[in-house]
Chains A and B, each alone.
Chain A
Amino acid sequence: MSVLAPSPLARRRRLHDRLATAGMVVALAVTLAPLLWVLVFVAGQGLKYLGPQFLANNPPGNVSLGGGGFYNGIVGTVEIVGIATMLATPVGILAAVYLVEYGRGRLAAIVRFVTDVLVGVPTIVIGAFVYSFWVLRYGFSGFAGSIALAIVMVPIVVRSTEEMLKLVPDDLREAAYALGVPRWRTVLSVVLPSAAAGITTGVMLAVARAAGETAPLLLTTLGNDLFTEYNPSHRMSTLSLEIFGNAITGFQAAQGRAWAGALTLIGLVLGLTLIARIVSGRSDRALRRQ
């Protein structure tokens, strides 16, 4: 037929194709716009106040006053998330080892399924659980927050570790067995090290997620607005709690601190995420090459 003059049908098809592509571009714009908006807005507000003074001081005694910073919150976040990481990492990695190296049948299927489900449990419910399970007995404390965050982190660590362990080639394992190395030592000294980079990535993503959490901490560590608390058996502040507490006030000075805190937290979390992705990109390729 007419190859030179396109038929109305062909024109309509091409039009649809272009419209669809345009729609996708719009979707991309709609996705990137809020990211840009949030980052630019938070950076714009946060940079007004972020500085050494902010990072090294606690909020002033009177919240309506300017000055001070979230040193106590930074200490709290590092410590609470640190303890949570120490709790969650061994549990998560060993559970993943169980799934990949030993697990089969019903039990493994249940563990796997529960891990998936646990990822989706709202963190506020985890906070309520830790409150009734721990806080009612021992009071609000940084450690209670660590327990809550560890529960948030464990399924993330299990899943990423499992994915990584699956990528470790069986040749490696069999080579070790052939040399008479027991299975547990094979796992510890051959399998886990070769997946180390990928596991680290998973742990870092979990850390990033935990560092940004606020809701469960409201119910477990409660906060400590004024003082730097290093003892996790006491109530502690965290960056996220300080941001929440200061953000909802109408005090301009408090809002200024909260913006600087938000920028700090974004920097921390995005930094961890980016590093994790870079590490994972490398390890993925390295493992796949093996």
Chain B
Amino acid sequence: MSPGVVLERSPGRRRRRPGDQVFRSLTLAMGALVVLTLVGIAWFVLGAALPGIRHYGFASFLHERWAPSEATSAGHHPNPYGVVQFIYGTLVTSAVAMVIAVPVAIGVALFINEVAPPRLRRPLSATTDLLAAVPSVVYGFWALFALLPALRPVAGFCDNTLALLPVVGVVFKGPFFGFSYLAASIVLAIMILPIITAIVREVFATVPLDHKEAALALGATRWEMIRMAVLPYARNGIFGASFLGLARALGETIAVTMVIGNNVLGISASVLKPGATLASVIANEFTEANQPFHLPALFVVALWLLLITLVVNVVGRLVMNRGQRVPGGNL
């Protein structure tokens, strides 16, 4: 029960104190400032993108070729600033990261909550949380020098075997030079793993003891108990946690920029090929955007990124639990 409700019972006193009015207004102003910040971000990003949208038209950005060099101050067509390949890169790297991270996060959360001896729970969860504390630039640096070389034999194997498969073969087609969607996805998976784990753990912790004990009393094994009592109860929470992890992956910039290879011209079906994401192209070109409508076009990219992360975030929070706050949001 919120303390505010308790105080509602004595409203008469509040009006007589000017100090209270001032303080209340001050806190309200700070709350409003938070709202204004988000509105300001959307407003300024939209405002900076507008010259480009006006010049070319919003829909004309929806193709997969980004060639600022071909922009002229007069020409409207064709729009050289296609953004679809960035949207694709952002979604694919994040999706692959999810495929890796979500099952692992669920496994780790189950292990910590249901299997590990109680005295190990705190240290184990603190350790997985540490993964979230490593800065993005350090992950990128490490990936450049440790992960890329380690991936080379793996990718070579994929290129020689999986790439020969019909239909899905194109996904594993080489040559692999290290910088790739795959490398970016793996880094992203590592980065969102602790976030999803932390939230899922808190969700598992809310499963009523009665449900678990009832399952065990029926003679269920631990795994059956998890399947019967824990997972169904936590399904929404897992879904929401995945969305929040996804939102983080979509916006991740520096580590991805360092390993994705920055190919801005088109979509490669193969995850072994270099690509680019919405965030990486902003990081690469923002301070040097000097072609006509280049900077507005980058703000169009930022707008897409903002839109996608907002949608994913909102959906994640709504799915998770209506009315109740999402735990673990500090990560």
List the interface of chain A (C-beta within 8 A of B): 13-14, 16-17, 19-21, 23-28, 30-32, 34-35, 37-39, 41-42, 45, 90-92, 94-95, 97-104, 107-108, 110-129, 131-133, 151, 154-156, 158-160, 166, 168, 170, 173-174, 177, 182-185, 187-188, 202, 205, 208, 211-215, 218-219, 222, 240, 243-244, 247-248, 255, 258-259, 262, 265-266, 269-270, 273-274, 277, 281
Q: Once the chains bind, are A25 and B28 in contact (CB under 8 Å)?
A: no
Question: Is there contact, CB below 8 Å, between B306 and A125?
Answer: yes
What residues of A have a CB within 8 angstroms of the CB of B19 in the complex? 182, 184-185
Enumerate chain B residues within 8 angstroms of A27, measured Cβ to Cβ.
103-108, 111
The one of B131, B133, B221 that contacts A208, using a Cβ cutoff of 8 Å? B133
Roughly how many angstroms separate A244 CA and B130 CA in the complex, as a whole number?
A: 21
In the complex, the answer to whether A102 meets B111 with C-beta atoms within 8 Å is no
Q: Knowing A16-B223, A31-B197, A114-B35 are in contact, say whether A247-B140 is a contact too (CB < 8 A).
A: yes
Q: A31-B197, A34-B190, A95-B30 are in contact. Are A184 and B3 (CB under 8 A)?
A: no
Q: A100 to B4, Cβ gap below 8 A?
A: yes
Give residues in B with beta carbon < 8 Å to A: 2-7, 10, 13-14, 17, 19-20, 22-24, 26-35, 37-38, 40-41, 44-45, 47-48, 103-108, 110-112, 115, 122, 124, 126-131, 133-142, 144-146, 190, 193-194, 197, 221-224, 226, 244, 247-248, 250-254, 258, 279, 282-283, 286-287, 298-299, 302, 305-306, 309-310, 312-314, 317, 325-326, 329-330
Shortest distance in angstroms between B306's beta carbon and chain A's nearest beta carbon?
Answer: 5
Residue of B nearest to A104 (CB): B4
Q: Given A14-B221, A122-B279, A122-B306, is A28 in contact with B111 using a C-beta cutoff of 8 Å?
A: yes
> What are 11 A-B residue pairs whose CB atoms fall within 8 Å in the complex?
A17-B224, A38-B142, A98-B30, A102-B24, A108-B31, A120-B248, A132-B299, A213-B135, A214-B135, A244-B140, A274-B126
Known contacts A37-B146, A100-B2; is A123 also within 8 Å of B135 by CB?
no
Contact of A215 among B4, B127, B283, B310 (CB under 8 A): B283
Contact A95–B31 (Cβ < 8 Å): yes
Choose from A21, A124, A131, A202 the contact partner of B251 (Cβ within 8 Å).
Answer: A124
Q: Is the interface of A mostly helix, strand, loop or mixed?
A: helix
B310 to chain A, nearest CB (A): 6
Min CB gap B65→A, angstroms: 22
Q: Are A159 and B131 in contact (CB under 8 A)?
A: no
**Docked-complex contact A24 and B37, CB < 8 angstroms:** no
Whether A24 lies near B108 (C-beta < 8 A) is: yes
Interface core residue of A111, A158, A187 (most chain B CB under 10 Å): A111
